Amino acid sequence: MKAIIFDLDGTLTDSGEGIINCASLALRTLGLPVPDRDTMRVFVGPPLRETFQKFGVRPEDTERAVEIYRSRYIPVGLFENTPYPGIPALLAALRADGHRLYVATAKPESMAVTVLDKFGLSGYFHRICGATLDGTRGHKDQVIAYLLEDMEPADEVIMIGDTHFDVIGAAAHKIPTIGVSWGYGAASDILEAGALAIADSPSHLLELLSK
């Protein structure tokens, strides 16, 4: 029996449209340049506050940027999102095989639950863990630590994610990672960070997890 920890954005659901739209609004409102959408893809996955500062938001303006972002994200952007094809079938197969499934995401936990509820995916998971709204728990290693506090024992624990942040966060707790190629991180970065393998589809991921 494996305990399988999934990232959310870019792994279970394609949330890029909503995240990028809301981040663009925040930058534009603060009078900062809005790069092209390919450049803005880096907003998907990492903690929001740190990413804003990489795009020119001053530390003293970071909370204002997050406030503007959430003013659109909570009512609209959260739902500019869809599960990747094959994900529901993958989760159903893993549960049928007796594995325990979890979510560890840098998205605020309440929002992660809302998204997974909307798409009918919450029931596959034993626990959904995310960041705090105030950012005191935001990095992937912090969220995984929070999850591990009362996770039931398993024969093996493994992380599934689409960026090198997932690999690094899991490695902090000696948890190996399988990367996925359909998200927002580069496969080369994921492998360089130490991932065991890259899955090219949910069916391929199921094969890798069955080994």
Catalytic machinery residues: 7
Query: Cα torsion for 46, 47, 48, 51, to the nearest 10°?
Result: -60
User: Which tokens in the block code for residue 99?
Assistant: 């594995």
Nearest to 9 by CA among 118, 90, 82: 82
Q: Given 3-state DSSP classes, what are the helix, strand and coil percentages for the chain, each rounded to the nearest 5?
A: 50, 20, 35
Angle at 103 between CA 96 and CA 179, to 5 degrees: 85
Bridge partners, residue 131, by sequence: 108
User: Maximum CA pair distance of the chain?
Assistant: 52
DSSP alpha helix (H) spans, the chain: 16-29, 37-40, 48-54, 62-73, 87-96, 109-118, 140-148, 164-171, 187-192, 202-210
